[in-house]
């Protein structure tokens, strides 16, 4: 079995995965959303302190599995340096105490493998990762053959939802709140500009849209917020769809996946489903409970890395976790 730890942002999570079967034997996550909500975003130092409290508590529940552990996997990067180090420190302690190797897992690869929790892998795969930290398109041939095709030049898709929600006083995380508000709204009322519409570049940008929404919020009243939310969600999604269509012209998808916290967005899912129809491509999605950060996805990657003996030294792990992304 492998014990896995995730602490890259505001979720403290630990899982146990059986190596031979990919079976998830234990899975627990303590989310800090409510603690950060009043600030409209994650406060890194507060998150680190809450991880220091929550992770050892969850680890205690895993004690019955300790004798069967073959390795400990932990999110090494990218993420908030002060929160990553909490998970890494605990992983080091487990590794030394039980004399088992460490496996440093890349968080973005973790999101890709959220598709394969308790399942076999499916490759090759074109992936759209939309989270609070990232917006990127990747071609994935295997665990070690991942090419980034396009990424955001500034804010991420999820982050733009968080910032728009903050402008409307909706708390954190903003994605679910904006999605809910948008359901009642008129998607066409506010004619926001689709970002990077005239440039052929395969890239994403959300800071301009965010500023346009800010102006609209300032000029309006709370009764208009549902229309602003709906128009924003529409344009934020249209931007992704527009760039994907451009990419698909020369690279038609076969298996396409949306992963990351914001892949839970239903409007995004429906719009992408529509474009995939014309390519006869299959859409892969993670279970809703595994879209946002969790340790099961880190464990699923760690199982693959364990089989390939991709272990990480204590020093390498510390260096990786000390950089903010």
Nearer to ligand KG4, 1 or 140 (CB): 140
Instruction: Judge residue 213's burial from the number of C-beta atoms within 10 Å of its C-beta, 0-12 exposed, 13-18 middle, 19 or more buried.
Output: buried
Binding mask 119-148 for Zn ion (x = CB under 5 A): ------------x-----------------
Nearer to Zn ion, 185 or 261 (CB): 261
Note whether 122 and 115 are within 8 A (CB): yes
155 touches Zn ion by CB under 5 A: no
Residue of 225, 131, 218, 211 whose CA lies nearest to 183: 225
- Of 293, 302, 305, 321, which one interacts with Zn ion (CB under 5 A)? 293
Query: Of ligand KG4, Zn ion, none, which one sits near residue 265, judging by CB under 5 to 8 A according to partner kind?
Result: ligand KG4
- Of 158, 185, 253, 299, which one interacts with ligand KG4 (CB under 6 A)? 158
Instruction: Judge residue 145's burial from the number of C-beta atoms within 10 Å of its C-beta, 0-12 exposed, 13-18 middle, 19 or more buried.
Output: exposed
Q: How many CB atoms lie within 10 A of CB 279?
A: 12
Closest distance of CB 157 from ligand KG4, Å: 7
Q: How many CA atoms lie within 13 A of 202 on its CB side?
A: 15
Closest distance of CB 313 from ligand KG4, Å: 25
Stretch that binds ligand KG4, among 18-26, 91-99, 157-165, 244-252 (CB under 6 A): 157-165
Dist. CA 183–CA 167, nearest whole Å: 18
Rg (C-alpha) for the chain, rounded Å, is 20
- List residues bridging with 4 in a β-sheet: 15, 73
Query: Of Zn ion, ligand KG4, none, which one sits near residue 138, judging by CB under 5 to 8 A according to partner kind?
Result: none
261 touches ligand KG4 by CB under 6 A: yes
Binding to ligand KG4 in span 284-303, by CB under 6 A: 292-293
Closest distance of CB 111 from Zn ion, Å: 6
Instruction: Outline where 190-311 has alpha helix (H).
Output: 207-218, 225-250, 266-277, 295-307
Note the residue count of the chain: 325
Nearer to ligand KG4, 71 or 175 (CB): 175
- Tell me the CA end-to-end span of the chain in Å, nearest whole number: 30
Query: Of Zn ion, ligand KG4, none, which one sits near residue 262, judging by CB under 5 to 8 A according to partner kind?
Result: ligand KG4
Dist. CA 300–CA 321, nearest whole Å: 20
Query: What is the DSSP secondary structure assignment for residue 279, as one 8-state letter?
Result: T
Q: How many CB atoms lie within 10 A of CB 147?
A: 9
- Of 131, 205, 237, 286, which one interacts with ligand KG4 (CB under 6 A)? 131
Note whether 258 and 272 are within 8 A (CB): yes
- Of 159, 195, 213, 301, which one interacts with ligand KG4 (CB under 6 A)? 159
Binding mask 197-216 for Zn ion (x = CB under 5 A): --------------------
155 touches ligand KG4 by CB under 6 A: no
- Of 173, 185, 195, 253, which one interacts with ligand KG4 (CB under 6 A)? 173
Residues lying near ligand KG4 in the complex (CB under 6 A): 9, 131-133, 158-159, 161-162, 173-176, 179, 260-262, 264-265, 292-293
């Amino acid at each position: 079995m492998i014990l896995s730890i995730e602490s890259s942002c505001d979720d403290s999570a630990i899982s146990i995965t059986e190596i031979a079967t990919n079976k998830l034997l234990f899975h627990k996550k303590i989310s800090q959303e409510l603690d950060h909500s009043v600030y409209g975003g994650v406060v890194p130092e507060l998150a680190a302190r809450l991880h220091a409290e929550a992770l050892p508590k969850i680890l205690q529940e895993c004690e019955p599995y300790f004798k069967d552990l073959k390795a400990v996997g932990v999110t090494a990067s990218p993420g908030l340096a002060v929160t990553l180090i909490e998970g890494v420190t605990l992983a080091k302690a487990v590794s030394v105490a039980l004399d088992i190797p460490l496996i440093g897992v890349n968080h973005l690869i973790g999101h890709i493998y959220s598709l394969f929790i308790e399942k076999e892998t499916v490759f090759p795969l074109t992936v759209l990762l939309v989270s609070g930290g990232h917006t990127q398109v990747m071609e994935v041939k295997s665990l070690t053959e991942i090419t980034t095709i396009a990424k955001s030049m500034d804010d991420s898709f999820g982050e733009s939802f968080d910032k728009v929600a903050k402008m409307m006083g909706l708390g954190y995380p903003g994605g679910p709140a904006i999605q809910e508000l948008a359901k009642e709204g008129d998607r066409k009322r506010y004619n926001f500009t689709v970002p990077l519409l005239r440039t052929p570049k395969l890239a994403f940008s959300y800071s301009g849209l965010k500023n346009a929404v800010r102006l609209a919020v300032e000029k309006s009243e709370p009764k208009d917020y549902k229309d602003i939310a709906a128009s924003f969600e529409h344009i934020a999604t249209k931007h992704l769809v527009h760039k994907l269509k451009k990419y698909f012209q020369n690279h038609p998808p076969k298996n396409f996946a949306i992963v990351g916290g914001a892949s839970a967005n239903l409007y995004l899912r429906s719009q992408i489903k529509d474009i995939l129809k014309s390519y006869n491509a299959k859409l892969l999605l993670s279970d809703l409970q595994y879209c946002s950060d969790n340790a099961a996805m880190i464990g699923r990657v760690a199982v693959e890395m364990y089989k390939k003996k991709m272990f990480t030294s204590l020093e390498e792990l510390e260096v990786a976790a000390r950089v903010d992304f």
